[in-house]
Structure 1
Amino acid sequence: MGDPTPLLEELIKIDSSTKSGANEAIAYCEKWLTEQGLTVKNLENNGFHMLVCEIGQGNDTIVLNGHIDVIEAEERQFQPYIKDGKMYGRGAVDMKAGVASSMAAVAQLKDTDLTSRIMLQIVPDEETGGINGTKYLTDKGYLGDFIICGEPTNMGIAIQSKGVLQLDINVKGKSAHGSRPWEGMNAITKAISLYEEILELPFAQESSPMFTQPSINLAKVQGGTVYNKVPDLCKMSLDIRYLPDQSPEEIVHQIQTITDGTITTHNSNNPVKTKAENPYVEALEESIKRITELEKVSIFGQHGSNDGQFFTLYGGSAVEFGPVGSDWHGENEMVYVNSVKEYQDVLVDFILSLDDNPET
C-alpha cells in the first residue's frame, strides 16, 4: 500500500466536529476500505455510525482503534495544506493521521497470511467521551488482547493514563443582607476554602512511577443571585485526574470527610494501566526502532483520557501510539508528512513481527 497522505488530506476536508460530520467521515472511510477489497461492518448507536474491519485469524486479537471526530474549528482549518514537510488542518494529528495510516496498514496486509486477528475500529465520538462509539463496541464484544489507539504521541508509547473523576459539590451557606455579611455564611467563599482543603488531602499528595501527582481542576463555580445578598448555595465542579492505582471511591470518601456538602459524580472514567514489560509493548517498541532508527523509544503516561479505557474493563492491554505532530486542538494543528507513512510502516512491521514472536 502506498502513501496514506492523500487519504489523510481528504479526511481533514470533512468537518467531523458534529454527529452528521463524523458520520460523513465514517462513510468516506467505509467507501475507501471497500474499494481496497476489505469487508467492513457499519454499526450504529444513537445515530452515531462506526466501522469494524477485520483481517487475519488466530487466538490473539490486535485492535487498531481510531476516532474520526474532531473538536470544532474555523472553516479554514478544514482546508489542509502542506508547508515545510508538515500537513496543517483540524484533526491532522488528532487523529486523522492515525486513522489514515491504520486504514492503509490493514489494506496493505489484507492478503497476508497472519496468525493474529487484526481488528480496525473507526469510531465517531472520542472527543465527547466515547460512550456512543468505542464503549458501545466493547460492550458488544468487539475486544482485543492488545489495543493501539492512534492518538498523537510523537512515536512514543503511552502505556498508562490517569482516570477521570468529575464531581459536583453543593456547598450550603446562610443568607444575609449584603450590607451585613457577618450575619450570614457565604457559600462561595466556603466552597473556595473547601477546594483549598481538597488540595491538601492524602490522595492529592500521592505519586506513581509515571506521574508526580493527580491533577485537580476547579472547573466551575456557580453561586449567588444578586449583589445585596450573601449567597446561601454554591455549586463547585471539579475535574480530578487520578493516578492509575488510586480508587475514585476512596477519593470521594476523603472529600466527604471534610465537607457537609452534597457530592455527586458527574462522570468517572477508568485509568489505563498497561505494563512496560507487556510483550506486545516490547514488540511495538522494537518495531518503532527498526522503522524510525530511534535508539530509544519514549515510554510514558498520559495525563488525559482516551478510548483505551473501555477495553481495560474486559482485560485488554491498551496503549496510545501515534505519529509526530503538534498543536492538536490548537490554531495550527499539524502532522509531519513523513511521519504519517512511517507510522503505517511501524504498524505493518509490528503486526508481521507477531508471527515471529511466540511470547506475544
Structure 2
Amino acid sequence: MRGVRRAARRAQRSDAEVRSSATGHPRRGGSLGALRGLRSWLAGPAHQARRHGQRGSRGRAPVRDALPPVPADPHRPAGARLRYLEAVRRLKAEGRHFPRTIHMTFVPDEEVGGHKGMELFVQRPEFRALKAGFALDEGLANPTDAFTVFYSERSPWWVRITSTGNPGHGSRFIEDTAAEKLHKVVSSILTFREKERQRLQSNPHLKAGAVTSVNLTKLEGGVAYNVVPATMSASFDFRVAPDVELKAFEEQLQGWCQAAGDGVTFDFAQKWTESRVTSTDDSDPWWAAFSGACKDMNLTLEPEIFPAATDSRYLRAVGVPALGFSPMNLTPVLLHDHDERLHEAVFLRGVDIYTRLLPALASVPALPSDG
C-alpha cells in the first residue's frame, strides 16, 4: 500500500503530467498497470480534480441511477447520477409536479452483468409497484456536436470452448491433441470476427452496435512445459447484434466445434437471449416526448444500437421501453480508460438538458400499455 500511495503522490506532484493528461490523452501501460496508470490520471485515487475546465475522479463506487426508473452509469466523471440528482433538485425547488412519478434507482453489479442487481430487481414486487412506463439508462459520449441515443443493444454471450485430446510427453509428435483442435475453433471464430470487422469498416452507414463483435479473452490449459495437456480451453466475449437469429448463431458455434473434431464442446458463462428494441418512430409517445424535448433544445440526436451491455436489457425484457442517453457531446469516448473525464461546461449543460427532458417524459399522458 505504501508503494501505491507513493505512486499516487508522484502522480499528483507532476504538474507536467497533469497538464498533458488534461489536454491530451497519454496511455501508459495497460489497465492492469495500476502504478503506471496512476500517472495518466488528472486525479489520484479517491480524489477529484479540476484543471483547464476538465473534471476527473477515481475510486468512486459504481452506482446506477434511474428515471421512471432511470439507471445511469457510474463511470462518467462527476457522475451522471449527480446530474440527475441536481436536475430533480431544481424541479423540486421550483415546486414542479407532473402526471407521472420520477423514480431514481441505485442498483449494484451492472459492471459484472447485473445478475444480482437489475436482473433480480425487475422481478421484485417493489419494482412492479413502481409501475414504470419508461426508463433512461446510460449512454456514451460523442466527440461531435451531436448526442448519441441508444434504443437497443447487442446481446452479451460469454462462451468457453473446451477441447480434449491425447496427452503425453512434450518431446513427442502426439496425434489428436487438445491444442490442435482448439486451434481450429479459434481460427474459425477469428475468421468470423474479421468478416464482421470488414463489414463494419466497408459500410460508413453502419455503427459498431449493428454488427457482431467477438474477442478472445482467455486461454487456459497445461501444467508443465514438457507435458501435452489433455484439456485446453479458450474463452470469447461475443456481442451479438439485435438482428441476428440467435438459434442459428448457436448452431454456427456448434458447427465450428464439430468441425474441429471429437471432444470439443462449449458452454456459456453468460447468454442473453431477450434482445428488445425500443421504438424510435415518431408515432411512439415516449420517443415523441424525448425527441421533441431534444428538438426544442436544438440538440442533434444520433440513434444507435449500444455496442456493449447495460441494465436497459432487463428493463426492455419486462416490457419497459428504455433509451440510453448521457448528454456528453464534444467529448471523447473514454469508457474505462485512463483519465476518464468530463469538461465542466458539458457537465453543467447536461444538468440543464435533464431539467427539461425529465418533465417532458414525466408528462406523457396515461397509455394503454401502462401497468
TM-score by length of 2: 0.68
Bigger proportion of residues as strand? 1
Q: Displacement of 1:83 after TM fit? A: 1.8
Task: Tell me the SS of whatever aligns to 1:312.
Answer: helix
Residues 186-210 of structure 1: per-residue CA shift (max 9 Å, x gap): 31232121122234569x7698965
Task: Tell me the SS of whatever aligns to 2:304.
Answer: strand
**Is 2:180 the counterpart of 1:176?**
no
Task: Note if contact 2:77-2:341 (Cα within 8 Å) is conserved in structure 1.
Answer: no
Question: Which range is displaced more, 153-162 or 112-121?
Answer: 153-162
Task: Note if contact 2:170-2:226 (Cα within 8 Å) is conserved in structure 1.
Answer: yes
Instruction: Find the counterpart in structure 2 of residue 315 from structure 1.
Output: 319
**How far apart, in 1, do the equivalents of 2:140 and 2:206 lie?**
22
Residues 185-237 of structure 1: per-residue CA shift (max 9 Å, x gap): 231232121122234569x7698965452011111111222222333211111
Instruction: Find the counterpart in structure 1 of residue 181 from structure 2.
Output: 190
Residues 20-51 of structure 1: per-residue CA shift (max 9 Å, x gap): xxxxxxxxxxxxxxxxxxxxxxxxxxxxxxxx
Residues 125-173 of structure 1: per-residue CA shift (max 9 Å, x gap): 2222222222232111426222111343344211121110111121112
Task: Note if contact 1:225-1:231 (Cα within 8 Å) is conserved in structure 2.
Answer: yes
Instruction: Find the counterpart in structure 1 of residue 57 from structure 2.
Output: 89
Instruction: Find the counterpart in structure 1 of residue 306 from structure 2.
Output: 302
Instruction: Find the counterpart in structure 2 of residue 115 from structure 1.
Output: 99
Q: Displacement of 1:266 after TM fit? A: 0.7
Q: Which amino acid aligns with 1:152?
A: L
Q: Displacement of 1:308 after TM fit? A: 0.7
Residues 245-273 of structure 1: per-residue CA shift (max 9 Å, x gap): 33444322221123242221111234452
Task: Note if contact 2:290-2:361 (Cα within 8 Å) is conserved in structure 1.
Answer: no
Q: Which amino acid aligns with 1:266?
A: A
**Is 2:112 the counterpart of 1:101?**
no
Question: Which range is displaced more, 207-216 or 252-261?
Answer: 207-216
Instruction: Find the counterpart in structure 2 of residue 22 from structure 1.
Output: none
Q: Displacement of 1:87 after TM fit? A: 0.7
Q: Which amino acid aligns with 1:276?
A: T
**How far apart, in 2, do the equivalents of 1:258 and 1:126 lie?**
31
Task: Tell me the SS of whatever aligns to 1:288.
Answer: helix
Q: Which amino acid aligns with 2:358?
A: I
Instruction: Find the counterpart in structure 1 of residue 268 from structure 2.
Output: 265
Task: Note if contact 2:56-2:78 (Cα within 8 Å) is conserved in structure 1.
Answer: no
**How far apart, in 1, do the equivalents of 2:184 and 2:341 lie?**
41
**Is 2:278 the counterpart of 1:274?**
yes
What are the ranges of 5 or more consecutive residues in structure 2 without an aligned counterpart? 1-31, 61-73
Equivalent residue for 1:337, pick from 336, 344, 353: 344
The count of corresponding residues between Structure 1 and Structure 2 is 286
Residues 265-298 of structure 1: per-residue CA shift (max 9 Å, x gap): 111234452232243234323323433x33x212
TM-score by length of 1: 0.70
Q: How does 1:225-244 map to 2 (within 5 A)?
A: 225-244=223-242
Q: Cα distance 1:333–1:209, how it changes in 2: closer, same or farther (>3 A)?
A: closer
- Percent pairwise identity: 21
Residues 293-324 of structure 1: per-residue CA shift (max 9 Å, x gap): 33x21211221101111111211111211132
Instruction: Find the counterpart in structure 2 of residue 346 from structure 1.
Output: 353
Instruction: Find the counterpart in structure 2 of residue 223 from structure 1.
Output: 221
Task: Tell me the SS of whatever aligns to 2:104.
Answer: strand
Task: Tell me the SS of whatever aligns to 2:225.
Answer: coil
Question: Which range is displaced more, 117-126 or 235-244?
Answer: 117-126
Instruction: Find the counterpart in structure 1 of residue 138 from structure 2.
Output: 150
Q: Cα distance 1:102–1:308, how it changes in 2: closer, same or farther (>3 A)?
A: same
**How far apart, in 1, do the equivalents of 2:291 and 2:52 lie?**
28
Q: Which amino acid aligns with 1:86?
A: Q
**How far apart, in 1, do the equivalents of 2:267 and 2:152 lie?**
27
What are the ranges of 5 or more consecutive residues in structure 1 without an aligned counterpart? 1-70
Instruction: Find the counterpart in structure 2 of residue 288 from structure 1.
Output: 294
CA RMSD of aligned residues (A): 3.1
Task: Note if contact 2:151-2:304 (Cα within 8 Å) is conserved in structure 1.
Answer: yes
**How far apart, in 1, do the equivalents of 2:352 and 2:151 lie?**
21
**How far apart, in 1, do the equivalents of 2:349 and 2:276 lie?**
26
Task: Note if contact 1:149-1:307 (Cα within 8 Å) is conserved in structure 2.
Answer: yes
Q: Displacement of 1:115 after TM fit? A: 0.9
**How far apart, in 2, do the equivalents of 1:253 and 1:306 lie?**
26
Q: Which amino acid aligns with 1:87?
A: R
Task: Note if contact 2:57-2:78 (Cα within 8 Å) is conserved in structure 1.
Answer: no
